[in-house]
Amino acid sequence: MSLMSNLSTSMISSSSSSFLAPTNFNSSRTQRVSVPLKSIKICKCVATPQEQQTAYKTNVSRNANISKLQAGYLFPEIARRRAAHLLKYPNAQVISLGIGDTTEPIPEVITSAMAKRSHGLATLEGYSGYGAEQGEKALRAALASTFYGDLGIEEDDIFVSDGAKCDISRLQVVFGSNVTMAVQDPSYPAYVDSSVIMGQTGQFQKDVEKYANIEYMRCTPENGFFPDLSTVARTDIIFFCSPNNPTGAAATREQLTQLVKFAKDNGSIIVYDSAYAMYMSDDNPRSIFEIPGAKEVAIETASFSKYAGFTGVRLGWTVVPKQLLFSDGFPVARDFNRIVCTCFNGASNISQAGGLACLSPEGLEAMQEVIGFYKENTKIIVETFNSLGFKVYGGQNAPYVWVHFPGRSSWDVFSEILEKTHIVTTPGSGFGPGGEGFIRVSAFGHRENVLEACRRFKQLYN
């Protein structure tokens, strides 16, 4: 690691180093300040007071909704604590099975298409500037035929984007601040945080670890990680992810039929996150639109990130059917289109060339191979924790393993694993109060790292 990167890491992580364990930092400071009094006076004169005198504040008040957010967003917080751990153990071989970031190379059939498009931009014939904000026609048509061929979804129902996470925030802009919303508990934190930022929620209630005005639909092993809808209050918007992140649970056809009926009975809109649909191993629905009537109550977001390794390339899509209407009869798709045209200039033409290659017969086969690799990783992790006597969930339909540590704080378990094995996981409570007592272990990793991580898990918990 270079001197500059060391400096940068220490600046970012200084506030978190004390979280992990005591260090010799304080004692070394004590030794260093045992210097002549004159030196101490010089330090005081040059540093802090001067900075305080030159501080300038504008007259613009901070967004009160953002100030409601608790600590940092989960995954940057994990990265911060990982960096602090590396400061403490600079020679440690840290293995990251926390943030769900892909690790294996993008298949060549896909990268060659992106390279060809990129080189074409250097020619008069191949150059293109702004494209359609909704995405290139050929890609929208390919998405419609590949994933929604017999479901009544047409190419102009599909909006190509720079990722599902970005579209979640754009949808929140469409909905505005006056809607009520429900989330699975636990669930991907972007749903809740974007709702807080939009002003849809009340303050964070520390006693229950929830935001006011959000309906948390508890998903537990006891209910098969599908909420008891008879106990769920009516809300305008329902965020639902299947296969679920973080639990790995996939909703059955019967369960999704119940969810669609629940939305229709209440006049609600479902935002269905299908980012892991291609990981499905059983006969559960891969799209909400497999359920009759869903086009009247649902939006679906999806992504190439976890299929083709596009976490850095950035390409996804959202389906907003024409049949989905607001209470005044106005089509939701027209408002979403306006937001897309106002806030977005369309996905990169290079990444869209890659997306089109993903949907070719060769590309689909290559993606299935990559998915198969990660699913093998998942199987190894599941078998490891099973052998150690843990209750393990997920792993069959998603690249995540949800491990139960009953009676323990998930952040404490995260810290124990990091401190004693140098492995980064994700604390379950970061996904909502229902995640307390669990950790999520990601299967995204090189095979040798996954095998080594499992060896260390066995060493710690055997």
Could you read off the pLDDT of 160-181 as tens digits, one per residue? 999 999 999 999 999 999 999 9
Whole-model pTM?
Answer: 0.87
Return the pLDDT at 249.
Answer: 97
How far apart (Å, rounded) are the C-alpha atoms in residues 216 and 210? Answer: 8
Return the pLDDT at 73.
Answer: 79
Q: Which helix (H) or strand (E) holds 357?
A: helix 349-358
For residue 445, report the phi and psi dihedrals to the nearest 5 degrees: 180, 160
The answer to whether 312 touches 306, Cβ cutoff 8 Å, is: no
- Cα–Cα distances in Å, from 162 out to 94, 170, 303, 344, 401? 30, 11, 9, 9, 27
95-96 and 423-424 strand pairing: parallel
Name which of 187, 255, 198 is nearest 224 in CA terms: 255
How far apart (Å, rounded) are the C-alpha atoms in residues 99 and 444? Answer: 9
Question: Which residue bears the tokens 């613009």?
Answer: 60
Share the mean pLDDT of the chain: 91
Could you read off the pLDDT of 28-43 as tens digits, one per residue? 333 434 434 444 444 4
CATH architecture for segment(s) 108-362: 3-Layer(aba) Sandwich (3.40)
Return the pLDDT at 52.
Answer: 58
Return the pLDDT at 21.
Answer: 40
* Residue 33 CB coordination number (10 Å): 10
According to CATH, the topology of domain 75-105+364-461 is Aspartate Aminotransferase, domain 1 (3.90.1150)
Instruction: Kindly give the parts of the chain with pLDDT less than 70.
Output: 1-53
Return the pLDDT at 49.
Answer: 55
Return the pLDDT at 50.
Answer: 54
145 CB contacts (<8 Å, ≥6 apart)? none
Could you read off the pLDDT of 324-366 as tens digits, one per residue? 999 999 999 999 999 999 999 999 999 999 999 999 999 999 9
What is the signed CA dihedral for 145, 306, 298, 134, rounded to 10 degrees? -60
Return the pLDDT at 40.
Answer: 42
Q: Give the distance from CA 136 to its chain's centroid.
A: 26
How far apart (Å, rounded) are the C-alpha atoms in residues 218 and 220? Answer: 6
Domain ranges of the chain: 75-105+364-461, 108-362
